[in-house]
Structure 1
Amino acid sequence: MTAGLRVLLRISIADGHEAEFEELWQSHAETVRGFPDNHGQQLLRERDEQGSYTVLTDWTDEPSFRAFEQSPEQQAYLRKLWAIRAGGEMRLLEVVHALSPAATAGT
């Protein structure tokens, strides 16, 4: 099944905890990829704003994402995250259209 839900999470990390957050996220990302309804994830860092990140995750649908949110693995991650988080917001985005990259010459 393909992704029908993209979750956009903006996170502000307390000064001095950026490296800790990146390590925490990367470690947890391995857990997230084990959930069968997860279709990928990215961690993005703002170029000009220290401690400002965006996380994008793709899910089959909202019920599968909500089940993940309530999982013991996610709850343990959130407890660690909240200790270094300065703020954030989450948006659920419905995938309306998706295009694959155009094929490059010679492939």
Structure 2
Amino acid sequence: MINSTDFANRIKKVMDFHQLSASLFADKIGVQRSSISHILSGRNKPSLDFILKITTTFKNVDIHWLLNGKGNFPKENNTSTLKASPTPPNLFQDSSNTGKQIQRIVVFYNDGTFDEYRK
């Protein structure tokens, strides 16, 4: 269960870090200004949608930190581990020896477009 007071303090920390008032913060994440007011006052608890809007809008906010205070804010950027990783596996090869083979992979984007990858 989320502690409303601690959660509100973490939201305030994000707002202070980005130098945003409560109303600008609400506008930025796309919620009603009253939603921020009610959550900051402890009247309402945040919905999953509300939490995801924060973590989607502010990439430096870790969801684990926002929910329970574990982790760091701002979130550490771990791109160095991505650069050091070996070449990605060939997704079209069957590694489980079941004889099944992937024919195509389709990636759908939130703007309605998609990319298709074929062997």
Provide TM-score, normalisation by structure 1. Answer: 0.31
Provide TM-score, normalisation by structure 2. Answer: 0.29
| Structure with the largest fraction of helix | 2
| Structure with the largest fraction of strand | 1
The structure number with the bigger radius of gyration is 2
Task: For CA contacts below 8 A with separation 6 or more, give which structure has more relative contact order.
Answer: 1
